[in-house]
A and B are shown apart, each in its own frame.
Chain A
Amino acid sequence: MTSQSYIRSEMLGPTSPPISESGAFFWLKQNLFATPKDTVLTLIGLLALGWFLPPMINWLFIDAAWTGGGRGVCATVAQGGSQPEGWSGACWAFVGAKLDQFAFGRYPVDERWRPMLVAVLFVLLLAPMLIPKVPYKGINAILLFLVLPVVSFFLLVGGVFGLEHVETALWGGLMVTLILSFVGIVVSLPLGILLALGRRSKMPVIRILCTAFIEIVRGIPLITVLFMASVMLPLFMPPGMTVDKFLRALIGVSLFASAYMAEVVRGGLQAIPKGQSEGADSLGLSYWQKMRLIVLPQALKLVIPGIVNTFIGMFKDTSLVSIISMFDLLGIVRLNFSDANWASPVTPLTGLVFAGFIFWLFCFGMSRYSGFMERVLDRGHKQ
């Protein structure tokens, strides 16, 4: 036996994969240039980006007028401004000057601390509600959905505790958009659940009424519902009795959303096996106990994405109240197009891009949060 001349005493480290199978080059080959068809698609995509992106960035940021006190900075010389001929860019100075209005509408300047206070309270109550780990969800929910609306009502409307009364006609901007959608959410979820339960009820009269309501409301556009609320509601009231215009829009939006919510909830109810309901019956639970403790918690959990989608839809739909001459965010932005101090060819586009970005931020946030909640609540029922 000859002794071995060399024995390796430590393990070799893993060698890095060949260059053709890793790194940026491999990624490019795999994801962008895998086949000739892929290469063509990539080139088309790059061309589209090159055609679209630089002018957009230019318009939005580089050529944009960021500061200034009037339309001069946003208009070319021929249009009576100071920009060179052929200039086009976003007029962020306009948005900056009008930011207060976009947020609060024509709410009196001295009283604006009131909506701000409401906003702070809202965020303080909403944030712990949204984070799953924070305890005391029950108290938090009561504060957010029952106490906050009442407190906000008195704070915003005023007329009590020495607060000056502020007409709802003066409300506007993002404030109105948020109030409409928050109240819509708070009203439509319970109402939608009731309607869904009614539609599955064994009592024919209740079932037919709920079905008719849901199908009629879902069959017509929101704008006709708003028209009904704003034109026909006064007709239905006893002569001399008026309903506040803001309240009319609230009623319209909430009823509309509850019909959609009812269909979403019904989908969840149908997905719960019959055995759950029979099990509850055999335990001797009453109808409402059965629904509250057994069926609804499971059903609602299943349809969280649908519920959030309805919320998002409602948030977007609140922009329609600008058609019945209320000034939500979109309405107040459009109102400012005609401000002689700022009117220029780029003002409308700038205002709309800004409003669109705000709407997008809220809707995108909601949809992201719903995806997060789906993962948190997923108890492994998924197939």
Chain B
Amino acid sequence: MTVDAMNPSGKSRSTGSLLNDPNVRGIAYQILTMVLLVLFIYWVSANTIENLKRANIASGYGFLNGRAGFDLGQSLVPYTSDSTYGRALYVGFLNTLLVAVTGIITATIIGFIVGIGRLSNNWLIAKLSLVYVEVFRNIPPLLVIFFWYSGVLAVLPQPRESLALPFDMYVNNRGLAFPKPVFDAGSQFIFYALVIGIVAAFLVSRYANRRQMATGERLPVLWVNLALIFGLPLLAYLATGMPISFDIPVAGKFNLTGGSVVGPEFLSLFLALSFYTASFIAEIVRAGIRGVSKGQTEAAGALGIRPGLTTRLVIVPQAMRIIIPPLTSQYLNLTKNSSLAIAIGYADLVAVGGTILNQTGQSVEVVSIWLIVYLSLSLITSVFMNWFNARMALVER
């Protein structure tokens, strides 16, 4: 009203208010951004098409059916140099998953040990853990990979002078040889027993929880579950007449024969990623446990709960709520860092893609495959995170 009174002339008022209206200006900015973006994309794609035409590269994903013509050091599924590019990328993807999953398991174990060690009352253990964290956190992972690859594993002895490790394992400059389990007839029952054991353990925990809620009595869930998960397969193993045997590597005159071998590429990547990520996980674990206020422990003590049970029932569930979100992002980081495989020639998704890119020049397509795979991995992770956070939020007051 006041503005109208101060601006009697209609025309100048409308332009003035239009220029100063935040909504109108916002829409104008957005239209401007859109136009610039469209122009930029048009310019880039025109250039790309022109460049591709000059280099005689046909765009599209048809090249995936072409013959790859290169060998891969390690593959979980049958693969020869006559396989297609698509198959090679699939092998690379599986290799990425393999190193990511094994790395995540090891990093979590080391990380939790070191993280709890940092909170230990024992001065020596706390300092050792601190040194571990400060050393590995401040060194590039790529350097750690090279440290294992060209510093340690490359200078191990030749295959005929392999170093013997416990459990019939041997290590030499071509990798680690270990006994390969051979599954004879009847061994599927062991697998079935394992599945039944896990399902039964799950049901037992649910029953025990419900019972505790109703009566307050706590059953010895841990021991029952351990017996179910490990005991059942063991029983099945004995009942079916021990169908699993081991193909043990034997040191021959020039080389090792038998057993399974993992190459130094996988080993160095796996070790480096585990040690590097473990230092971050240790800090997360420490922060999580420190994040549970001291009053919780004291309250549990006042209720007469034993120290061991306090840790299990009061501290850990609350600490996990703080730990798990950053922990998943570290898992994702480890998965992304596994792309450093390309530096030492471990055939992961990026390394295989890089080879294909050099051979065919299909850079746009290869990069788009990388983007899709890694983005879906991180999308899955964030979906899980949102689900987890929502679930945890219910527990909160």
Report which A residues bind B (CB closer than 8 A).
31-32, 34, 38, 41-42, 45-46, 48-49, 202-206, 209, 215-216, 218-224, 227-228, 231-232, 234-239, 312, 316-317, 319-320, 322-323, 330, 334, 337, 345-346, 348-349, 352-353, 355-356, 359-360, 363-364, 367
Asked whether, in the complex, the Cβ of B125 is within 8 Å of the Cβ of A239, the reply is: no
Asked whether, in the complex, the Cβ of A218 is within 8 Å of the Cβ of B378, the reply is: yes
Chain B 38-74 near chain A by CB (<8 Å), digits 1 or 0:
0000001001101110100000000000000000000
Listed residue (B139, B339, B357) with the most chain A CB atoms within 10 angstroms of its CB: B139
Complex Cα gap A227–B144 (Å): 22
> Using a CB-CB cutoff of 8 Å, which residues 330-387 of chain B contact chain A?
336-337, 339-340, 342-343, 350, 354, 357, 363-364, 367, 370-371, 374-375, 377-379
Given A31-B123, A41-B120, A205-B30, the answer on whether A320 and B142 have CB atoms closer than 8 Å is: yes
A-B contact pairs, 5 of them (CB 8 A): A32-B122, A346-B155, A349-B150, A356-B144, A363-B138
Shortest distance between the CB of A381 and any CB in chain B (Å): 18
Asked whether, in the complex, the Cβ of A219 is within 8 Å of the Cβ of B123, the reply is: no
Asked whether, in the complex, the Cβ of A31 is within 8 Å of the Cβ of B121, the reply is: yes
Asked whether, in the complex, the Cβ of B125 is within 8 Å of the Cβ of A41, the reply is: yes
CB contact between B125 and one of A42, A204, A209, A334 (< 8 Å): that residue: A42
Complex Cα gap A322–B363 (Å): 20
Complex Cα gap A355–B138 (Å): 12
Complex Cα gap A238–B147 (Å): 42
Complex Cα gap A349–B268 (Å): 14
Contacts of A334 in B (CB 8 A): 146, 150
The B interface is mostly helix, strand or loop, or mixed, namely helix
Nearest neighbor of B335 in chain A, beta-carbon distance = A221
CB contact between A349 and one of B29, B50, B147, B370 (< 8 Å): that residue: B147
CB contact between B343 and one of A227, A312, A323 (< 8 Å): that residue: A323
CB contact between B123 and one of A32, A48, A209, A224 (< 8 Å): that residue: A32
State whether the Cβ of B143 lies closer than 8 Å to any Cβ in chain A.
yes
The number of residue pairs between A and B whose CB atoms lie closer than 8 Å in the complex comes to 162
The 8 closest A-B pairs by CB, nearest first: A363-B138, A31-B123, A349-B151, A219-B378, A221-B339, A205-B30, A221-B336, A316-B140
Asked whether, in the complex, the Cβ of A31 is within 8 Å of the Cβ of B122, the reply is: yes
Listed residue (B143, B340, B374) with the most chain A CB atoms within 10 angstroms of its CB: B143
Complex Cα gap A220–B124 (Å): 39
Beyond A205-B34, A221-B336: 8 further Cβ-contacts under 8 Å? A38-B122, A49-B128, A222-B336, A237-B51, A239-B54, A337-B150, A356-B147, A359-B139
CB contact between A319 and one of B143, B150, B375 (< 8 Å): that residue: B143
Complex Cα gap A320–B151 (Å): 18
Complex Cα gap A202–B27 (Å): 11
Nearest neighbor of B49 in chain A, beta-carbon distance = A235
Given A218-B378, A352-B143, the answer on whether A235 and B138 have CB atoms closer than 8 Å is: no
Shortest distance between the CB of A54 and any CB in chain B (Å): 16
Nearest neighbor of A318 in chain B, beta-carbon distance = B140
Asked whether, in the complex, the Cβ of A203 is within 8 Å of the Cβ of B374, the reply is: no
Chain B 136-171 near chain A by CB (<8 Å), digits 1 or 0:
011111111011001110110000000000000000
Asked whether, in the complex, the Cβ of B337 is within 8 Å of the Cβ of A363, the reply is: no
Asked whether, in the complex, the Cβ of A224 is within 8 Å of the Cβ of B50, the reply is: no
Listed residue (B29, B34, B47, B141) with the most chain A CB atoms within 10 angstroms of its CB: B47
CB contact between B375 and one of A216, A234, A337 (< 8 Å): that residue: A216
Asked whether, in the complex, the Cβ of B364 is within 8 Å of the Cβ of A232, the reply is: yes
Contacts of A239 in B (CB 8 A): 47, 50-51, 54
Contacts of B124 in A (CB 8 A): 31-32, 41-42, 45-46
Nearest neighbor of A27 in chain B, beta-carbon distance = B123
Complex Cα gap A364–B30 (Å): 43
Contacts of A218 in B (CB 8 A): 378
Asked whether, in the complex, the Cβ of B375 is within 8 Å of the Cβ of A356, the reply is: no
Complex Cα gap A355–B139 (Å): 9
Asked whether, in the complex, the Cβ of A364 is within 8 Å of the Cβ of B374, the reply is: no
CB contact between A227 and one of B50, B54, B354, B379 (< 8 Å): that residue: B354
Asked whether, in the complex, the Cβ of A221 is within 8 Å of the Cβ of B26, the reply is: no
Asked whether, in the complex, the Cβ of A316 is within 8 Å of the Cβ of B139, the reply is: yes
Given A45-B122, A224-B350, A364-B134, the answer on whether A323 and B342 have CB atoms closer than 8 Å is: yes
State whether the Cβ of B135 lies closer than 8 Å to any Cβ in chain A.
yes
Contacts of B363 in A (CB 8 A): 231-232, 235
Asked whether, in the complex, the Cβ of A221 is within 8 Å of the Cβ of B337, the reply is: yes
Asked whether, in the complex, the Cβ of B155 is within 8 Å of the Cβ of A45, the reply is: no
Listed residue (A31, A334, A363) with the most chain B CB atoms within 10 angstroms of its CB: A31
Contacts of B339 in A (CB 8 A): 221, 223-224
> Using a CB-CB cutoff of 8 Å, which residues 93-139 of chain B contact chain A?
120-125, 128, 134-135, 137-139
State whether the Cβ of B389 lies closer than 8 Å to any Cβ in chain A.
no
Contacts of B342 in A (CB 8 A): 223, 323
Nearest neighbor of A228 in chain B, beta-carbon distance = B367
Asked whether, in the complex, the Cβ of A322 is within 8 Å of the Cβ of B142, the reply is: yes
